[in-house]
Amino acid sequence: MTVLVFGKTGQVASELQLLPGVVALDRAEADLSDPAACAELIYAQQPNAVINAAAYTAVDRAESEEELATCINGKAPEAMATACAELGIPFVHISTDYVFRGDGLAPWTPSCLTAPQNAYGRSKLRGEKAVQSIGGRYAILRTSWIFSAHGTNFVKTMLRLSETHSTISVVSDQIGGPTPARAIAITCYEMAERLMKDPSVAGTYHLSGFPYVSWAEFAEEVFTQAELRTTVTHIPSSDYPTPAVRPMNSRLDCQQTEQVFNLRCPDWRLSLTETLRDLDRSA
């Protein structure tokens, strides 16, 4: 099986390249600000499946660049999904919990009403709706709080800050499930394989790590496992204002993914141990 992956240096794309048959495209090869060119690459390469692991992810900058974010996160997936539907091949697209309102305490199910509160969320929802409307052998995988040994993420930021700070303030009223990029990559790959055999499983799914924690609790576990003496000060989101509104509730209900694909959501604490080990090896 040949799987064409949009994205090469990102967290999920880096993990996907460890799987067999993956051909990853970087920004120079596939410019998502040119949706038509992305579709042409699919037609030209004729892969068995396509996974879109590339996105505009600068959440705060998207507030002033919403048109560009919408092109990359909305129009490019639409072009990819159209090409895949015409070729009759699976298309797996990664999305986010930011498509929801982000309030309350209950985990969001795939069927919950979407109501993004920032430009990034709106751009991702635009892509979701386009992929859904085109149909075909598609799977949208919403996830949250991605971390790995690759790229830029919360774990690596906390480790970097600990080098110069003995105490770090982290918000404690935003709750979610940290999700290892490796688990997302494997899930996307297995979804593509399953869609090849059974198009009836097409739809929108969730994947996040468990148990749910706050960003502050996540940071504390990072320092505990890394055997660092850095102290975490719990602060409310109001003490750390950002241009884009962040969801307070990023909990995702993953039962449908587990039932349909027979997958277990990862315990992020175990994955964090692996990530820290990978970072030690690459140091």
Catalytic residue numbers?
Answer: 120
HSE-CB for 170 with a 13 A CA cutoff: 25
For residues 51 and 59, what is the distance between their CA atoms, to the nearest angstrom? 22
CB contact at 8 A, 13 and 94: no
Tokens of 119: 């430009």
Q: What are residue 6's phi and psi, to 5 degrees? A: -85, 120
